[in-house]
Amino acid sequence: MKITERSSLAEVAIVVGDALRRAGIRGVLTGGACAHLYSADAIPSVDVDFVLIETSTMAALDAALTPLGFRRLRDRYLHDLTPFFVEFPRGPLGIGEDFRIRPVWRSRGGAKTLALSPTDSCRDRLAAFYHWNDRQSLASAVAIAMRNRVSFSKIRAWSRNEGHAAEQAAFAAELVRARRASRVRSS
């Protein structure tokens, strides 16, 4: 796959992840771009975040991304043909206080990348809602849960451990509302 002016966020994320994989760099797709992948493009984002799970150098990242047409500007990689940019937030890979994250492989068009699982992507969005009352992140978590199999028991236990049982109840209520609205639209 090649990045063009018509490349979607999901395509850019997968292509970048595949380039990292081929370069021997272990990065995991996280954040809004990962949520975008699991929400059937319902969640907008302009950045593609990869958390590196092994040490890498800027030179190695440059070597992996330059052939795709990216250029580094400080800590961000830009591409002339797409509005989406790539960043590498500081690790370790974790969601709240949980650092036992098991990434999954996502593929498209022969390219593949490591990414958070649907459950972990949902928790990642919920973490933003819990800590910053970010309502867009709550909507993202609901969209992910509407379109994917997620472990609600894992989400509940994690939320309780993070001290956000009340906020998790708000997520559950919002998910019920979204499911009802979806059934009404389908009828």
The model carries a pTM of 0.94
On the 0-12 / 13-18 / 19+ scale of CB atoms within 10 A, 134 is middle
In this predicted structure, the answer to whether residue 163 has a pLDDT above a threshold of 90 is yes
Q: Which tens digit of pLDDT belongs to each residue from 132-160?
A: 999 999 999 999 999 999 999 999 999 99
For the chain, which residues make up each domain, given as ranges?
9-117, 119-186
Architecture of domain 9-117: 2-Layer Sandwich (3.30)
Q: Which tens digit of pLDDT belongs to each residue from 12-66?
A: 999 999 999 999 999 999 999 999 999 987 788 999 999 999 999 999 999 999 9
Q: Determine the average pLDDT of the residues in 98-126.
A: 96
180 phi, psi to nearest 5 deg: -60, -45
In this predicted structure, the answer to whether residue 187 has a pLDDT above a threshold of 70 is no
For residue 151, the SS3 value is coil
| Short-list 103, 137, 16, CA closest to 66 | 16
Structural element, H or E, at residue 107: strand 104-108
The residues near 30 (Cβ < 8 Å, ≥ 6 apart) are 49, 50, 51, 89, 93, 115, 116, 121, 124
Q: Which tens digit of pLDDT belongs to each residue from 91-102?
A: 999 999 999 999
